[in-house]
Amino acid sequence: MVIDIDNLSLTFQTNDGPVHALSDIDLQIDEGDFVSFIGPSGCGKTTLLRVIADLEQPTAGTITVNGLTPHEARLKRAYGYVFQAAALYPWRTIAGNIALPLEIMGLSKAEQRARIAKNMELVNLAGFEKKFPWQLSGGMQQRASIARALSVEPDLLLMDEPFGALDEIVRDHLNDQLHQLWAKTNKTVVFVTHSIPEAVYLSTKIVVLCPRPGRIYDVIESDLPRERTLDMRESPEFLKIAHRVREGLKAGHSYDD
């Protein structure tokens, strides 16, 4: 088991009183899983991901990552994190950006070069090493940020709506690439999204969250085969899972406010 979350809650103290961002979360994520968190805005899906990454501290409950606390796991660089925006540093070339975590880890120059080449190849960016981020399209920037996360060579990849800002066509393309990447490397991926087709297409397990307080409404184990193609999105099995996700989102969403 890679991630084990037990009875976890997180309450933010704000000027307007406490906000229950997460409440009584129980979740297990196994090695090689592709898990999507889906839910409306404010349901705590990003917060949950940030708790796993030790970017937020839970106020109650326990969580382990690779059997360690999130803090220890972060210090051991157990995961790669992909943010909503590419967050590439504009003064570094693409290769320089991918080298950033490797420099911090203190790897040798030769090792850095080898990892940069390998991961740029993996996200189909070979040949763009010397370009600066602002010379690339949004999709390419996000791919570069994925290569940067992968270059740490983590077994766990945390992705926070990485394709949220991209258009449908680029998004399909990157989903396909991400799926192949996952199938090839057998990493564990935790993926935050609010797109139902994206979640169903990519995931082996879909966690539907609902807001106020942020909690898990449904956990759907996908029975789709591990190998997937974009055409599968028209198949009855796919639509059945998508329907269940949509029902979960509808039921969990309170429209009173």
Partner 1 sequence: MSMIASTKRRFDIPALLAWFIIAMAAIALFSPVFSPDFAITEVPRLAICLVLLAILGVRYELGFMRNQVGDLILGLVAAAAAWLLIDTAGRHVGDAALGFWTLTAATWASAWLFIERLANWKGMSPLASRFIDLAIPALFGATILVLWQLIVTGAGVPKVLLPAPSEIWLRLTTSVPILWADFQQTFMKAVLIGYVMGCGAGFIIAILVDRVPFLRRGLLPVGNLVSALPIIGVAPIMVMWFGFDWPSKAAVVIIMTFFPMLVNTVSGLAASDAMQRDLMRTYAANYWQTLFKLRLPMAMPFIFNALKINSTLALIGAIVAEFFGTPIVGMGFRISTEVGRMNVDMVWAEIAVAALAGSLFYGLIALAERAVTFWHPSIRG
Q: Which residues bind partner 1 (CB under 8 A)?
A: 53-55, 74-77, 79-81, 83-85, 87, 89-91, 100-101, 103-105, 132, 134, 152
**CB of 81 or CB of 238, closer to partner 1:** 81
Residue found under tokens 């406010």: 257
**CB of 58 or CB of 101, closer to partner 1:** 101
**CB of 75 or CB of 251, closer to partner 1:** 75
Asked if residues 39 and 194 have their Cβ atoms less than 8 Å apart, the reply is yes
Residue 92 beta carbon to partner 1: minimum distance, rounded to whole angstroms: 8
- Rounded (10°) CA dihedral 243, 194, 73, 103: 140
**CB of 59 or CB of 84, closer to partner 1:** 84
Asked if residues 174 and 142 have their Cβ atoms less than 8 Å apart, the reply is yes
Residue 80 beta carbon to partner 1: minimum distance, rounded to whole angstroms: 8
Residue 41 beta carbon to partner 1: minimum distance, rounded to whole angstroms: 18
Residue 29 beta carbon to partner 1: minimum distance, rounded to whole angstroms: 18
CA-to-CA distance for 179 and 201, rounded, in angstroms? 8
Residue 255 beta carbon to partner 1: minimum distance, rounded to whole angstroms: 31
**CB of 22 or CB of 99, closer to partner 1:** 99
Residue 97 beta carbon to partner 1: minimum distance, rounded to whole angstroms: 10
Asked if residues 213 and 227 have their Cβ atoms less than 8 Å apart, the reply is no
**CB of 156 or CB of 241, closer to partner 1:** 156
Residue 66 beta carbon to partner 1: minimum distance, rounded to whole angstroms: 14
- CA-based end-to-end distance of the chain: 38
Q: Count CB atoms within 10 A of the CB of residue 14.
A: 8
**CB of 80 or CB of 252, closer to partner 1:** 80
